Amino acid sequence: MSSTATLAGRAAFSTMLIGYMMILVAGFSFAKDDNGRVKELFKRLEGRWKVASAEVSGQKIESDEEWNFVSGNYTWSDSKRKLRGYASINYTWDPHQIYFHHEHSSVTGPIETGDVRNWDSGIYKLSDDGETLKVCLGPLPSKEFATKKEDKRRLFVLKRVKADEPVK
């Protein structure tokens, strides 16, 4: 492949990525907070969550991940790493969009804003009883809680951890 084709491919990818980010930013700025609505949505997510099932690009995977939400901040941890940062919600979509801005990894340390690893975005749905959380991360926009071969989407079904369960 010629360097001109490579540059054109990178430019097209950058343009697409900027387009996705503009959709996200527009949605989040529109839905910053409507009389405490975003704060209430985060309050419903508060606490510890254990991944009950996970799927990547149409393939089921094993995961020992635990997620924790506190006041719009989060940590994702498993036996190999811990990732922390803050989240944003766009409640104008159905299902709601969620955006995770990663700030620190136990593997790589601080994550710079311009680093492609510094964010994940997708959709989420909390069950009516507040005990099950579905999150599908990957290219936006999508309104499906599903993954397909080679789509690079990740689907997590998480169960709320009881307050008296020990932290791993």
Q: Is pLDDT at 11 greater than 70 in this prediction?
A: no
Distances (CA, A) of 165 to 71, 123, 161, 168: 21, 27, 7, 9
If you average pLDDT over residues 3-8, what whole number do you get?
A: 51
Backbone φ, ψ for residue 145 (5° rounding) = -95, 75
Report the chain's mean pLDDT, rounded to a whole number. 82
Q: Is pLDDT at 12 greater than 80 in this prediction?
A: no
Residue type, 51: V
Could you report the per-residue pLDDT of 92-135, keeping only the tens digit for each? 989 999 999 999 888 888 887 766 668 899 999 999 999 999 99
5: pLDDT confidence band, cut at 50, 70 and 90?
A: low
Residue type, 43: K
What CATH number should be reported for the domain whose range is 3-160?
2.40.128.280
4: pLDDT confidence band, cut at 50, 70 and 90?
A: low
**SS3 (DSSP) at 7:** helix
Q: What is the CA radius of gyration of the chain?
A: 17
Q: Is pLDDT at 19 greater than 50 in this prediction?
A: no
- Amino acid 25: pLDDT: 47
- Amino acid 156: pLDDT: 97
Distances (CA, A) of 167 to 34, 47, 87, 135, 151: 34, 12, 22, 22, 33
CA-nearest of 116, 23, 7, 28 to 72 is: 28
**Cα–Cα distance measured from residue 153 to residue 147, given in angstroms and rounded to the nearest whole number:** 6
